Chains A and B, each alone.
Chain A
Amino acid sequence: MEKLLLLGDEAIAQAAIDAGLSGIFGYPGTPSTEIIEYIQASKEAKGKNIRSSWATNEKTAMEAALGMSYAGKRAMFTCKHVGMNVAADPFMNSAITGVNGGVVYISADDPSMHSSQDEQDSRFYASWAKIPIFEPSNQQEAYDMIHEAFELSEKFRLPVMLRITTRLSHSRAGVVIRKEKREQNQIAIPENPKQFILLPVNARRQYKELLAKQDGLEQASKNSPFNKYIDGENKSLGIIACGLSYNYLMENFTQTKCSYPVLKITQYPIPTEMVNKIYQECDSILVLEEGQPLFEEKLKGFLNNGKKIMGRLDGTLTVDGELNPAKVGKALGLEVSEGLEVPSLVAPRPPKLCEGCPHADTYRALNEAMAEYTKGRVFADIGCYTLGALPPYNAINTTVDMGASITMAKGASEAGFQPAVAVIGDSTFTHSGMTGLLDCVVDNVPITIIILDNSITAMTGSQKSNATGRIESICEGIGVAKEHIRVITPLKKFHEENVNVLKEEIAYQGVSVVIPRRECLVWLNKKRKEEKQKQK
């Protein structure tokens, strides 16, 4: 019995390799990044020729996964929760086309927003699209569920979602690995040639088929080894625990036995029969969900005229934030242990740009170039450079979603608020900035776009950027005038020069692009270390 010490993310990746995966597609995003990184580093995956390079964004990634499935092979897609928004178009429609080779979509959610802009719960997407969800409560389940998810996907010919959250993504445990490894599928296109042609006439028929599959999916959930009804003699309360919340429940019963009936749900759709049993047998129900109250809302209903349902909606648990053992203990009315208070002298260490970071030099130059205008004109994006919002820089005014810097600056400029400046990273630019740039060129909007090129996707830990070596030619190809694509080197010794370039382009009444180019230091050090290691 081989037991490996694996992060939740790594357990998913190893399972996919063992389950006959042919390709994995995704864009980096905490806490999902380690899944693809594990496959990229795996000799086994290399030997099996599993494709694993980073996609330009989540939409292109998911579509490529779907294409691989069309060709008959097993494919996986990974993203962080907000990446689901980018991939929403292929996601919803892939529930209608269904799949050929098995497809598993991994969404790693981040309740409590440890490194995110919101705490949306991806189960809503899967529930909306009417596809099954697996929600592991531990690393071993994550490993085992991937095998099951691919089987289920091919059995019902539907994509399947596996949803995890930060805690499991980034927590290690021993995982028992299967000895027998599944071979990859052979190439075989769908038997029904119309399956992937979503003309309304086909889509209507296939939507009916999707609806007709729901009973079978529910039956699969009911018979699943991952869903369990654990009886208890105290029927005053029944507990429905979804995914990771089951652990926090059980943590409160390490010394004593839980006397309440518990329904553990880690495979969806939630089986009505099991819910009905606990609802009928118990006087009230506590729903534990890591994330937003998806199931609690359904069970409670609009009028809430059934039995007492407790959870996030009635304040028994907090509506926002991730759960923990103490929150669940308090919800059960248990006495929970407390430690000491944090002494008031403890100061936070907020994240900040590294010593010597190229972005810092760019922001110093930008602040000086913008000094002659009124404030509030710099629209930024998602990346390390978002930290330019904090002192000592105070250089940016917005950060909303991937690519929004360019398009929001465009809208502001079109409102007459000129000059408007966008600040976007190299990888974010190719992810979602290029289309916005085309809009700017088509409308010939006065705007200056600063594309910070540190040659890597830095914030998520140095993943290869698809923009590297291509930025000028992309901008030129989209239609930015060559003389208004300026490359600068963000170093102290070029400060005056850089300020002047920025001033000139900001004053220009058209679309201009300034590319401050210098390698990310964290990545540079990593690269040097790796090279040293190789030489040894």
Chain B
Amino acid sequence: MKIDIILCGVGGMGALSSAAIISQAALDMGLYMKQAETHGMAQRGGDVQSHLRLSDKEIASDLIPEGQCDIILSVEPMEALRYLPFLNKKEGWVITNENPFINIPNYPEKDVVLAEVKKVKNSIVFNADKIALDLGNPKGTNMVVLGAASKYLRIDIEKLENAIRSIFGRKGEEVVMANINALRAGREVADKM
């Protein structure tokens, strides 16, 4: 088993929390993992990304080689496109929230961005913000996207739920369940497709 994932978005949207949850689940499963992040300057609103590699064999590079990424998991559609050079052209998936985060004057038209994402052979583009909002958890977009991606992660959803429990446990049961519900709702979307 070997799976390479790029998690991306804009600072503050929770892309790195998703990475931490998958990492924790992988470690509990006894898999090897490496997770490289861009920290950089501390300002919010810049693009953030994490290369996450899981395998049952030892992993060499912290960076995913170009053209070999299995899943780009994004909480923002234009950010998903930024990492296409890493995607496996034939078998890779792009799974992204469809709502743009606009903090630059030259953000392209939303429709054009979404059309570009849909050009990728395998993609799931959906309104994760709305699902999170309907659940009463507007900050849960990242968990909804992670839930949708869980179908392709080859990690049992229970393992991800346990990881959420161990990472958010100290924030109380309410936060844990809000995140788990968002995760499950995202998974439903993928299952229906």
Interface positions of A (Cβ within 8 A of B): 3, 5, 30-31, 114-115, 167-168, 170-174, 244, 247-251, 254, 324-326, 329, 336-343, 345-354, 384, 387, 458-462, 522, 536
Closest 4 CB pairs of A and B: A337-B67, A251-B61, A250-B60, A171-B36
Q: Which chain B positions have C-beta within 8 A of A254?
A: 60
Q: Which chain A positions have C-beta within 8 A of B42?
A: 384, 458-462, 522
Cβ-defined contact, A174 with B43, below 8 A: no
Task: Compute how far the CA of A384 lies from the CA of B43 in the bound complex, rounded to whole angstroms.
Answer: 8
Cβ-defined contact, B44 with A171, below 8 A: no
The segment out of B112-120, B130-138, B150-158, B181-189 that lies at the interface is: B112-120
Question: Taking the complex as formed, is B169 at the interface, i.e. its CB lies under 8 A from any CB of chain A?
Answer: no
Task: Compute how far the CA of A349 lies from the CA of B42 in the bound complex, rounded to whole angstroms.
Answer: 14
Cβ-defined contact, A3 with B27, below 8 A: yes
Q: Which chain A positions have C-beta within 8 A of B45?
A: 349, 351-352, 354
CB distance from B37 to the nearest CB of A (A): 5
Task: Compute how far the CA of A476 lies from the CA of B120 in the bound complex, rounded to whole angstroms.
Answer: 63
Q: A3-B27, A167-B62, A345-B116 are in contact. Are A339 and B32 (CB under 8 A)?
A: no
Task: Compute how far the CA of A325 lies from the CA of B10 in the bound complex, rounded to whole angstroms.
Answer: 26
User: What would 5 more interface pairs be, CB under 8 Å, given A346-B82, A353-B43?
Assistant: A5-B24, A339-B92, A340-B87, A343-B84, A345-B81
Task: Compute how far the CA of A247 lies from the CA of B113 in the bound complex, rounded to whole angstroms.
Answer: 35
Cβ-defined contact, A325 with B65, below 8 A: yes
Could you list 8 examples of A-B contacts with CB < 8 Å?
A114-B40, A251-B65, A337-B65, A339-B66, A348-B104, A350-B104, A384-B41, A384-B43
Q: How many A-B residue pairs have CB under 8 A?
A: 154
Task: Compute how far the CA of A115 lies from the CA of B88 in the bound complex, rounded to whole angstroms.
Answer: 29
Cβ-defined contact, B10 with A349, below 8 A: yes
Task: Compute how far the CA of A347 lies from the CA of B111 in the bound complex, rounded to whole angstroms.
Answer: 15
* Chain A minimum-CB-distance residue to B76: A349
Q: Which chain A positions have C-beta within 8 A of B63?
A: 167, 248, 324-325
Looking at chain B's contact residues, the main secondary structure is: loop
CB-contact partner of B67 in A115, A250, A338, A387, under 8 A? A338
Task: Compute how far the CA of A384 lies from the CA of B41 in the bound complex, rounded to whole angstroms.
Answer: 8
Cβ-defined contact, B78 with A30, below 8 A: no
Q: Which chain B positions have C-beta within 8 A of A171?
A: 34-37, 62
Cβ-defined contact, A339 with B43, below 8 A: no
Sorting the interface of chain B by its residue count into under 10, 10 to 19, 20 to 34 or 35 or more gives: 35 or more
Q: Which chain A positions have C-beta within 8 A of B23?
A: 5, 172
Q: In this complex, which of A30, A324, A345 has the most chain B Cβ atoms within 10 angstroms of its Cβ?
A: A345
Cβ-defined contact, B40 with A349, below 8 A: no
* Chain A minimum-CB-distance residue to B72: A339
Q: Which chain A positions have C-beta within 8 A of B40?
A: 30, 114-115, 351
Task: Compute how far the CA of A458 lies from the CA of B27 in the bound complex, rounded to whole angstroms.
Answer: 33
Q: A338-B85, A352-B45 are in contact. Are A30 and B39 (CB under 8 A)?
A: yes
Q: Which chain A positions have C-beta within 8 A of B10?
A: 349
CB distance from A502 to the nearest CB of B (A): 25
* Chain A minimum-CB-distance residue to B120: A340
Task: Compute how far the CA of A170 lies from the CA of B51 in the bound complex, rounded to whole angstroms.
Answer: 11
* Chain B minimum-CB-distance residue to A253: B60
Cβ-defined contact, B46 with A351, below 8 A: yes
Q: Which chain A positions have C-beta within 8 A of B27?
A: 3, 5, 174
Interface residues of B in 84-129 (CB under 8 A from A): 84-89, 92, 103-104, 106-108, 112-113, 116, 120
Question: Taking the complex as formed, is B68 at the interface, i.e. its CB lies under 8 A from any CB of chain A?
Answer: yes
Task: Compute how far the CA of A341 lies from the CA of B89 in the bound complex, rounded to whole angstroms.
Answer: 10
Q: A337-B65, A341-B85 are in contact. Are A351 and B38 (CB under 8 A)?
A: no
Task: Compute how far the CA of A377 lies from the CA of B94 in the bound complex, rounded to whole angstroms.
Answer: 49
Task: Compute how far the CA of A251 lies from the CA of B87 in the bound complex, rounded to whole angstroms.
Answer: 16
Cβ-defined contact, B69 with A339, below 8 A: yes
CB distance from B142 to the nearest CB of A (A): 18
